Structure 1
């Protein structure tokens, strides 16, 4: 089914919302977690005014007809004005501030950055210092502006913004459905950072899917702790909510990365009458572990995504809150939306979401409901390809996701594995090649393989196994230090590196990663059991055809071990 668009661009959509409800709160930033809370808010009228000002600022400070604005910012109201203003004037390029300097230079060069905005100098982050260093290394001059905190010798974004008009933009300055809106960075399949090109149409298709599914209405309040460089933060919890005309609560500059925010989550729900909250599975699990010390009756349901949601977490949310935890499945290459919740019905534990008629999703090779295979996606949410690259994953209009799964007879999607062995850590897609290429550059390392080991908090954590050249020696700690110094993406740094005499290989000589995943899981279990591990009988970690892992013991466990192992299996999402 094709999507009918009532607005030709994001600007047109937000303009229409602001005209209807100019005084309604669009964005509320919590700045103090004390008992009374303190916050700053922007109305829809103020947001629209600032989007217009940002658009004019970017055109003024750039030589390009369609300027590219890269930014390194937390989830603050200014970031939203910059994001949607940049998409109106040209192209937005939100970047993860945790990327190292080399990676940021590479991405901004590829994007053709004209203006760079970053969180100003402050005592708790080095974002500004990194931005200054990157700006000096770019091949063309860029305008660098500090945001939120002032920087000596630079014009502060907020002060500069006030000098531009908030009058309506001329129609001939505005983008259309097929104009480019943003470049989102993603690890892709080779470990080399790529920029996924999202057009206005892609993002508005995500909005349509979101609105069909979520049924948000005037009076709803959504809490979002995800930054805008995360496609779920910008598209699902950001743009889609703004186009619905509802209030978004931003839980401090740090978002859900701050343990204090998680501890105060239920009190914020009560204070701001939040109706929908959630986050990546690890954030939701942390929330549920905090005693509910407030009136949370305003909540309608929770949502999660970014990585598979354990069935046990759905049960925990239901047990603690009496609410459903719905999952969203999306990709950067699909503007964040593929399968969405069906809030008309209870959640289906283990499901990644419901497949709407507004999107074409099929299982490659499947002949009937329930058949498994690679997920292929087609429709307006699907991007046009990676900027400046030929390795386009589209074939005849279909995006090959690399994920394996099936759709049941009721239209629910289940993800059962990953064709390309991506490691998903707290919602971050980590390409094993990023780790492997790094380690194989070490002069002592002949071969490296990275896999994900299960983790109760992060879902998966990256670990690596290496094989050394004959006659060479290096310690595992030296390799860990080398990886920490070399890998650009902090979440991709392995939690441990183990040196093997030889990596396990298949009959045709390819590294057999299931064996390494099993070994990593066995090591994890023994570490978590502590002293009890000495009492474990011989056991095996089996990799099932579905890609799931299961524990197999040669003999019955004692009551003490049975309780401990059963708890671990549930936390690590292992079958018995």
Structure 2
């Protein structure tokens, strides 16, 4: 089990928080009351205030109730990042329904499987994904399709027509925060088939508060109407961005756990303005970061790698940035050093989480004097325990000994939907077995070594690709890289590197020699393949199964 020394836990934050028994919609209700006319979302030329976001979410909720959607029904949001996504998300929860996020670029077969598995009563789609949804044929049963933007689709209702703007405040719906599902989120499927993760309102509120309080030096509070808000107890010297003043630029997809909780609910709790991007255009992204004087930038390692490769990163005035946060995969130390040099006034933190833990488990301290250890994902957040076990025997591992990361806390899921056997395999004696391999140091800082499923076995030795990938990322001839195993009957698996070169005409033999010179013999790569890009999911995670398929 993790333990932290008094020197590493960020003062004056308590070790434990009081989590109010409120539904997730209370986040927006409280934020609208507190921040009112402040811009909540800025998307292109569109601005939506906190008050307007609340009113439009209420209208969408009444639209759902008018169409027969009751407590416990599922609403699938088949949307990219857009204001309607936030409106429909909170509107779904206000109606007592369950939100199920759906990648708008899912192939038809996978989309059909997910909609069938979650039994979606309503699907809200967009011009980006509507043709894929339409290819599934006319909606069956009770399914209603709501359409945002783009060309009209058959058998669908335009988003403005669906909402009931005349209904006033939120519907009167009772929500049992411990048993009612707020989210039915699907795992990314980077290592296998996607599974529906059942998350209660208690799970989501707990995790949103854990990270909002951690990021802003705050504790939970209730406003005069009983809705959740924050009380900032940390000083402005330690947390210079005060509640209701920050601006965050966001590309992280809201159909991903890190996006929905970490890049929607957490910022709204803190009164941030979200500058929203729905696709990655590096030049436009950096231009907006300068124009709107953003105070925080967050995303997956792929985002930061792409930004570091752009000359505009050095040319834009980004002196307003005070925090950089990376998740969804390991950030190479070489990139950490480059970002620290570029943003000397910003705190750079890595974090760790997974859908089965709502969103987040651990994060480096965000206070300016906090102890941050590059290469680690920081300390387990409030009320969260982490321990390491042998993935084969289940025996406990000590400090510095690698093992499977197991998590216990209020954000841990209730289980998988209709997957009792897999739930029992993943949740054991109250502990979530993540499938990730890590180490914990004497101060309680967690380091992710690799996914257990990504580990290679060469002649009986365990080879963790991340170590090799770190060396490749730091090499001047490499812009991006990933390492996977190629089956070989004589030795088990041979490490193979897929490399995006930083310049034309890279000598793969020389590159392999440079890297292998720094590795023990059993860890050495046996082949380098040059590719135009490393395949990643919409959330920025490397799709190693796709690389294995190429082998």
Taking structure 2 as the reference length, the TM-score comes to 0.75
Query: Which residue of structure 1 lines up, in the alignment, with residue 119 of structure 2?
Result: 112
Work out the CA distance in 2 between the residues paired with 1:96 and 1:131: 11
1:461/1:189 Cα in 2 relative to 1: closer, same or farther (>3 Å)? Answer: closer
Q: Secondary structure at the match of 1:114?
A: strand
1:458/1:413 Cα in 2 relative to 1: closer, same or farther (>3 Å)? Answer: farther
Matched, 1:217 2:243: yes
Deviates more, 1:189-198 or 1:66-75: 189-198
Cα shift readout 1:224-268 (whole Å, capped 9, x = no counterpart): 1011111111110111111222211102x32x3xxxx31233331
Q: Could you tell me how far 1:197 is from its partner in structure 2?
A: 1.1
Query: Which residue of structure 2 lines up, in the alignment, with residue 438 of structure 1?
Result: none
Tell me which of 19, 36, 40 is aligned to 1:5: 19
Alignment of 1:285-364 (within 5 A): 285-290=305-310, 291=312, 292-322=314-344, 323-344=346-367, 345=370, 347-364=372-389
Work out the CA distance in 2 between the residues paired with 1:67 and 1:380: 24
1:551/1:106 Cα in 2 relative to 1: closer, same or farther (>3 Å)? Answer: closer
Work out the CA distance in 1 between the residues paired with 2:500 and 2:375: 23
Query: Which residue of structure 1 lines up, in the alignment, with residue 134 of structure 2?
Result: 132
Contact 2:72–2:181 (CA under 8 A) maintained in structure 1: no
> Relative contact order (alpha carbons < 8 A, sep ≥ 6): 1 or 2 greater?
2
Q: Could you tell me how far 1:366 is from its partner in structure 2?
A: 4.5
1:130/1:175 Cα in 2 relative to 1: closer, same or farther (>3 Å)? Answer: farther
Query: Which residue of structure 2 lines up, in the alignment, with residue 433 of structure 1?
Result: none
Alignment of 1:361-400 (within 5 A): 361-364=386-389, 365-366=395-396, 368-390=398-420, 391-392=422-423, 393-400=426-433
Work out the CA distance in 2 between the residues paired with 1:270 and 1:540: 38
Q: Secondary structure at the match of 1:405?
A: strand
Query: Which residue of structure 1 lines up, in the alignment, with residue 300 of structure 2?
Result: 280
Work out the CA distance in 1 between the residues paired with 2:53 and 2:67: 21
Q: Could you tell me how far 1:324 is from its partner in structure 2?
A: 3.5
Q: Secondary structure at the match of 1:203?
A: helix
Q: Secondary structure at the match of 2:453?
A: coil
Contact 1:150–1:156 (CA under 8 A) maintained in structure 2: no
Q: Could you tell me how far 1:529 is from its partner in structure 2?
A: 8.4
Cα shift readout 1:119-159 (whole Å, capped 9, x = no counterpart): 03xxxx4x1111122353x6524111111235155431023
Contact 1:27–1:250 (CA under 8 A) maintained in structure 2: yes
Q: Could you tell me how far 1:7 is from its partner in structure 2?
A: 4.9
Contact 1:263–1:287 (CA under 8 A) maintained in structure 2: no
Query: Which residue of structure 2 lines up, in the alignment, with residue 49 of structure 1?
Result: 55
1:66/1:53 Cα in 2 relative to 1: closer, same or farther (>3 Å)? Answer: farther
Q: Could you tell me how far 1:189 is from its partner in structure 2?
A: 8.8
Contact 1:56–1:164 (CA under 8 A) maintained in structure 2: no
Contact 2:130–2:153 (CA under 8 A) maintained in structure 1: no
Q: Secondary structure at the match of 2:135?
A: helix
1:525/1:146 Cα in 2 relative to 1: closer, same or farther (>3 Å)? Answer: closer
Work out the CA distance in 1 between the residues paired with 2:315 and 2:378: 30
Tell me which of 270, 282, 292 is aligned to 2:290: 270
Q: Over the residues paired in the alignment, what is the CA RMSD in angstroms?
A: 3.4
Q: Secondary structure at the match of 1:358?
A: coil
1:458/1:99 Cα in 2 relative to 1: closer, same or farther (>3 Å)? Answer: farther
Q: How many aligned positions are there?
A: 459
Contact 1:72–1:118 (CA under 8 A) maintained in structure 2: yes
Work out the CA distance in 1 between the residues paired with 2:427 and 2:512: 49
Taking structure 1 as the reference length, the TM-score comes to 0.72
1:223/1:177 Cα in 2 relative to 1: closer, same or farther (>3 Å)? Answer: farther
Q: Secondary structure at the match of 2:125?
A: strand
Work out the CA distance in 2 between the residues paired with 1:177 and 1:394: 18
Work out the CA distance in 2 between the residues paired with 1:333 and 1:388: 15
1:357/1:128 Cα in 2 relative to 1: closer, same or farther (>3 Å)? Answer: closer
1:387/1:543 Cα in 2 relative to 1: closer, same or farther (>3 Å)? Answer: farther
Q: Secondary structure at the match of 1:19?
A: helix
Q: Secondary structure at the match of 1:264?
A: helix
Q: Could you tell me how far 1:60 is from its partner in structure 2?
A: 2.0
Q: Any stretches of 5+ residues in structure 1 without a counterpart?
A: 31-38, 424-450, 466-501, 507-511, 553-571
Query: Which residue of structure 1 lines up, in the alignment, with residue 41 of structure 2?
Result: 27
Contact 2:388–2:405 (CA under 8 A) maintained in structure 1: yes
Cα shift readout 1:2-61 (whole Å, capped 9, x = no counterpart): 64223511112321221122111111112xxxxxxxx21111111111211122212222
Work out the CA distance in 1 between the residues paired with 2:16 and 2:198: 21
1:551/1:375 Cα in 2 relative to 1: closer, same or farther (>3 Å)? Answer: same
Contact 1:417–1:548 (CA under 8 A) maintained in structure 2: no
Work out the CA distance in 2 between the residues paired with 1:548 and 1:346: 35
Q: Could you tell me how far 1:62 is from its partner in structure 2?
A: 3.4
Higher Rg of the two aligned structures: 1
Work out the CA distance in 2 between the residues paired with 1:503 and 1:92: 44
Alignment of 1:156-195 (within 5 A): 156-170=158-172, 172-187=173-188, 191-195=192-196
Q: Could you tell me how far 1:403 is from its partner in structure 2?
A: 0.8
Query: Which residue of structure 1 lines up, in the alignment, with residue 451 of structure 2?
Result: 418
1:267/1:192 Cα in 2 relative to 1: closer, same or farther (>3 Å)? Answer: closer
Which structure carries more helix by proportion?
1
Cα shift readout 1:172-195 (whole Å, capped 9, x = no counterpart): 444524310111111569722211
Contact 2:177–2:200 (CA under 8 A) maintained in structure 1: no
1:175/1:537 Cα in 2 relative to 1: closer, same or farther (>3 Å)? Answer: closer
Work out the CA distance in 2 between the residues paired with 1:343 and 1:548: 38
Tell me which of 421, 430, 437 is aligned to 1:404: 437
Contact 1:70–1:93 (CA under 8 A) maintained in structure 2: yes
Contact 1:326–1:347 (CA under 8 A) maintained in structure 2: yes
Alignment of 1:535-554 (within 5 A): 549=523
1:93/1:11 Cα in 2 relative to 1: closer, same or farther (>3 Å)? Answer: same
Contact 2:146–2:162 (CA under 8 A) maintained in structure 1: no
